[in-house]
Structure 1
Amino acid sequence: MPPNNDSYNSDELNAPQWLNTEFIREILVKHLKAPELKVVDVKFSPASSKGDHYASLMFRAYVEYETQKGHSTISLVIKTMPEQDGHKKELLGESHIFETEIAMYTKVLPKFEKVLREVGDMTRLCATCIYHSLKPRQVMVFEDLLTQGYAVIRRSANIEELRAALETLAKWHAVSHKLLKEQPELFDQLQYDITTLPKFLEQDFLTKSLGSFTDMLGNVESLKTYRKYFEPMQDKLIQAWVDVIREYRDNRQENGYYVLCHGDFHLRNMMFRGPDCMLLDFQMSYVGSMANDIIYAIYMLFDGKLREEKSNELIYNYFQTFVNTLKKIGYQGKVPSLVEFRRQMFEKRYNDFLLLTSFQPIIIYMRKGADPGEIIENDDLRSKLYYQKEYIKELEDLLPRMLHLGYFEPL
């Protein structure tokens, strides 16, 4: 294992005791249907860098093994729940994130890919899961996408990469939009989202964020005029955001454009191979408005310059791919319109406000390689994040746009 290194999350520097040679052998015996398999050597290492994720632990296993066919190697990625006592375990220990993700990898996304294959679209939506378990521990094992030529981007995505990511999402959204009407039972296991994480809505980084944001607005000369729009949201922003996320389950609208949302659509949850984009991490996936993933992308995926110059083009391209895919797969309902989609995005602007005031300062800091756990648990650090020059600069662009588009008109 690597030494204590600032490049990795501290709880991924050493694999848990159960993650050993015998565990790997049992998985490979079943996966390869080779009872005689012998593990010659296995090396464990962290499978992600600091700042890549928070809701699980990720390890990579490079395995040398022998079967009747000879000597071979394989690289695996193991995803499991935190075992160390602390905030992460407290927040995630009683959650349903692994049930959600197992359903996504074993049932939902394979069905989506089958629908696409039937019309000649070979888009891959997920990695291959070769093992999963909820007891005695929650764990999933995947074939390593790095060995297939995929890579995580550790810089801001360019326009081509953003277009590829949104086109993959559009196809996913289109298939789910069709199947929600034809086979709604496919989504029965997906009854949770980020707002249903135990005690998530009580976390300081969420409950104190608007106060820190409005304090910053009052201290930055170029932004002072916007404070009056956010102060009245203090007692209602979080619940209004929850209502947006849970709309399909709790307050379904007759004209709503509903899909299976990824739920955490940012750059660290995708890998690229040339023009292809593979999405990762489906622990927060849920059925909701298709606007939700796109609004999330605006704040968590696009950087300032591209958001300012290319967001409308990217959203238009996403929507065209969505509509074209619906037609290609034989959707029989009324095809959604861009005008109505834009209206629904605007209607759900509490999503914008929550992401802007709570999540965006954190994601900007995480892009610098910061540990999300440190941010979530450190009040003083979070307060300082609102004064990052990159964040201030983005607000100087975003807030006037919101004002001019009517975002601050009464909801």
Structure 2
Amino acid sequence: MGDRKYWDERMETIGSEDLKALELEELRKQVKYVYERSPFYKEKFKKAGVSPEDIKSLEDLRRLPYTTKDELRETQEKYGGLGGHQCAETRDIIRIQGTSGTTGRPLFIGLTRNDVNLWNELFARHAWTGGLRPDDILINPANFTLFVGGLTECSGAEHMGITVIPAPFVSTGTEKFMMLITTFKPTVLFSTPSATVFLEDAARKILKMEPSELGFKKGFLAGEALSEEERTRIEKTWNITARNFYGLADVAADIAAECGESPGLHFCAQGALIPELIDPDTLEPMVIEDGAEGEIVFTTINREATPVIRYRVRDMVRVYTKPCPCGRTGFRFHVIGRSDDMIKVKGVNVFPSAVKGVIQSFVPKTTGEFRIVLPHPGPSFGENLTIKVEYSKEVNTEDLEDLATELKTAIKQQLVFTPIIEWVPEGTFERSQYKVEYFEKLYES
């Protein structure tokens, strides 16, 4: 089984015409379903002057209004529980989970048994794409309280045949987590890219071992975009093949993964989601073509409990459509950053993820850790912003001025803005067990 090329060859290599036919059939069913069962969507559709009967082609999807996370939060506050977009009867919902809440109040999502089965299949598709196999052992440090990175990923991995060690940091503790690693020798490092730094420090302090000595072989790195600088550092430090994986709690926990043969993450959710690309300013649809950059939008087409229609996830992506040697036909994309994290510095769009990539290219002179200091609410700033950057212990303080000049030049050349660099010693910033907040907001102090 481990030697086969695809988890679901039919869906992973489906032709464009067959996919369009499938999408249209399932879209029409989904729109009718939500119109009949969701007071939230029935009201939205009526305000937009559209009904299920109007959806006669995939192009008609554009007639439907966008959905935002704030709207779903509001409907959950209004109706209680899962909100006005709950479509399945509560007795048919077997699991309630939620978003991480990193950008506000958690959004709760429901799953029927069919939803769970579909998510398990999507996990297997994207994990197989990313190189995981049934003979792997995966240790999962994610929180199991609502967070899909915990229970859902364990469920998907078990469905695929992977041996799973559920060991959430919040209850396991770092020392026991490290003990489980030495005892069972997991092959898959499951983490956000940022949290690998925390794990590296823990391995050195608790086990007195280098991460490369722990026996991991594969990096299942999710929750954040993985820069090439980060990939290089992680692969060298852990002696693994590091790949990026992508999913969203409010859409589908597992959507895309890198295959390692071409740039970008393969879209792996054919038959479950319809992706769109839009201009985040005008909200006009864009063609999903090679080199296009825009905000990705998803519509569920096979969801029972809490479907979403034209859902703005706020991720800005770059698209790749040239054929991949792996044979998968899904388009590929790279997450540039979040449209709601983007700031404008003297008219230039700046994403924290892009800044991170430049700073990490200076490792080991820097630790890769930084914070962008915001003196007032954005998103626009007419002044040069300060970036606090950790310098490593091996750097002499008398060399910091020259290093700051090098770093500013690199940022100017690659990102077209010039920051003020403020050096701070290694260890200044707390290492995160999950995602990092890269903005230091002085106006909230």
Q: Normalising to structure 2: TM-score of the pair? A: 0.25
The structure whose RCO (Cα within 8 Å, separation 6+) is larger is 1
Question: TM-score with structure 1 length normalisation?
Answer: 0.26
Higher helix content, 1 or 2: 1
